[in-house]
Structure 1
Amino acid sequence: MEDIENYSIEVPFSEEFKKLAKETNDYLETLPINQEQMDKLVSYMIENVEKAKLEGYAVGFSHGAKIKPMEKAVKQLAYKIKKYAYKKYAPIEDKTVKKS
């Protein structure tokens, strides 16, 4: 079994994200703030991005984990509907199809 404590998933940044990050960086360089303020602002931004990535992954994983049980429930419901329909309508033959 893998060491779950040291397991990680790397999510690469899209080109769109990289472009936005560059534009943001270029804008930040125009702000009249000192280096300490800039470092704090960038630190907050990095923390926000990391939290968003983690929460996005958690939400996606949570939804993915729900799909399998839902598939099973849908299959069971479909089976029950078919069973009901067969009992109710099976005695009626389709006269439009000719038997060979």
Structure 2
Amino acid sequence: MAIKKLTGIVINISGKNTAIVQVSRLVRHAKYQKIYKKSKNFLIDFKGELSKGDKVEIVSVKPVSKKKSFKLNKVIEKVVHLSEVEEDIL
């Protein structure tokens, strides 16, 4: 199997080393030619700090568990939460 690199958004941190990443793509309907969005959720294995809303790149690996077969490659864009901004202002 070839190594897949996908880009998505973290929608949930479900455990100590597990997160759910939603990967979206645009698809054109075969008959009507309308473009619509399809998305799929992947469970990923990660070490370090990750928060909900971060844009990340994930890569396929040998299965870590029954449902996890992707790991975090890099964080592309961190989300700044409102509470962090308020602390900096005060």
TM-score bucket of the superposed structures, by smaller chain: under 0.3
- Indicate the structure (1 or 2) with the bigger Cα radius of gyration: 1
Highest RCO, 1 vs 2 (Cα 8 Å, sep ≥ 6):
2
Higher helix share: 1
Higher strand share: 2
TM-score, structure 1 normalization: 0.22
